[in-house]
Amino acid sequence: MVRGMRILHVAAELFPYVKVGGLADVMGALPQALRAEGADVRLLLPAYPALRDALGGVVSAGPLGPFAGVGEARLLLGRTAAGVPLYLLDLPSLFDRPGGPYDERGDSCLRFGALSWAAARLGRQGDAQGWRPQVVQAHDWQAGLAPAYLALEAGPRPATVMTIHNLAYQGRCPPSVLKPLGLPASAFHLHGLEFHGDLGFLKAGLVYADRLTTVSPTYAREIQTPEQGEGLEGLLAHRSGDLTGILNGVDPDLWHPSRSPHLPMHFASSRPSGKKVCKNHLQRELGLRESPAAPLFGIVSRFAVQKGLDLVLENVDHLVALGAQLAVLGSGDPALEAAFRAVAAQHPGSVGLRVGYDEGLSHRVIAGSDALLVPSRHEPCGLTQLYALAFGTLPVVRRTGGLADTVVDATSQAQAEGRATGFVFEDPNGWALGEALNRACGLYRDQPAAWTRLQRTAMAQDFSWRTSARQHMELYRALVHP
Candidates 5, 18, 26, 420: give the one binding ligand GLC (CB under 6 A): 26
**Of the residues 107, 357, 450, 471, which one makes contact with ligand ADP according to CB under 6 A:** 357
Strand intervals (E) in 186-324: 194-195, 198-200, 211-214, 243-245, 296-303
215 binds, among ligand ADP, ligand GLC, none (CB under 5 to 8 A by kind): ligand GLC
* Total residues in contact with ligand GLC, by rule CB under 6 A: 14
Here's the x/- map for ligand GLC, 378-397, by CB under 6 A: it reads as -xxxxx--------------
CA distance 398 to 424: 5
**Shortest Å distance, C-beta 279 to ligand GLC:** 26
Residue 406: left if φ>0, alpha if ψ -120 to 50, beta else—which one?
alpha
Contact criterion met (CB below 8 Å) for 144 and 233: no
Longest Cα–Cα distance of the chain, Å, equals 68
Residue/partner pairs of 340-343 with CB below 8 Å, 24 or more apart: 340/303, 340/309, 340/313, 343/313, 343/316
Nearest distance from C-beta of residue 215 to ligand GLC, angstroms: 4
- With binding defined as CB under 6 A, does residue 126 bind ligand GLC? no
Among 80, 108, 142, 166, binds ligand GLC (CB under 6 A): 166
- Report how far residue 206's alpha carbon sits from residue 201's, in angstroms, rounded to the nearest whole number: 9
Residues 230-249 that bind ligand GLC (CB under 6 A): 248
When binding is defined by CB under 6 A, the residue of 147, 205, 330, 352 that contacts ligand ADP is 330
- Residue 193 in the binding site for ligand GLC (CB under 6 A): no
Task: Tell me the one-letter amino acid at 37.
Answer: E
CB of residue 104 vs ligand ADP: minimum separation in angstroms? 18
* DSSP output for 317-366: HHHHHTT-EEEEEEEE-HHHHHHHHHHHHHSTTTEEEEES--HHHHHHHH
Choose the stretch contacting ligand GLC; rule: CB under 6 A; options: 40-48, 154-162, 375-383, 414-422: 375-383
Radius of gyration of the chain (CA): 23
Burial-class residue 57 by CB neighbours within 10 Å (0-12, 13-18, 19+). Answer: exposed
**DSSP-derived secondary structure letter, 307:** G
End-to-end CA distance of the chain: 14
The residue among 61 and 212 lying less far from ligand GLC, judged by its C-beta, is 212
- Confirm or reject binding of residue 29 to ligand GLC (CB under 6 A): no
- Per DSSP (E only), the strands in 91-149 are 135-139
Binding segment for ligand GLC among 290-298, 329-337, 376-384, 405-413 (CB under 6 A)? 376-384
* Position among 359, 417, 427, 462 found at the interface with ligand ADP (CB under 6 A): 359
| Residue 301 touches ligand GLC, criterion: CB under 6 A | no
Residues forming contacts to ligand GLC in the complex (CB under 6 A) are 21-23, 26, 165-166, 215, 248, 379-383, 402
Residues forming contacts to ligand ADP in the complex (CB under 6 A) are 21-23, 25, 300-302, 329-331, 357-359, 362, 381-384
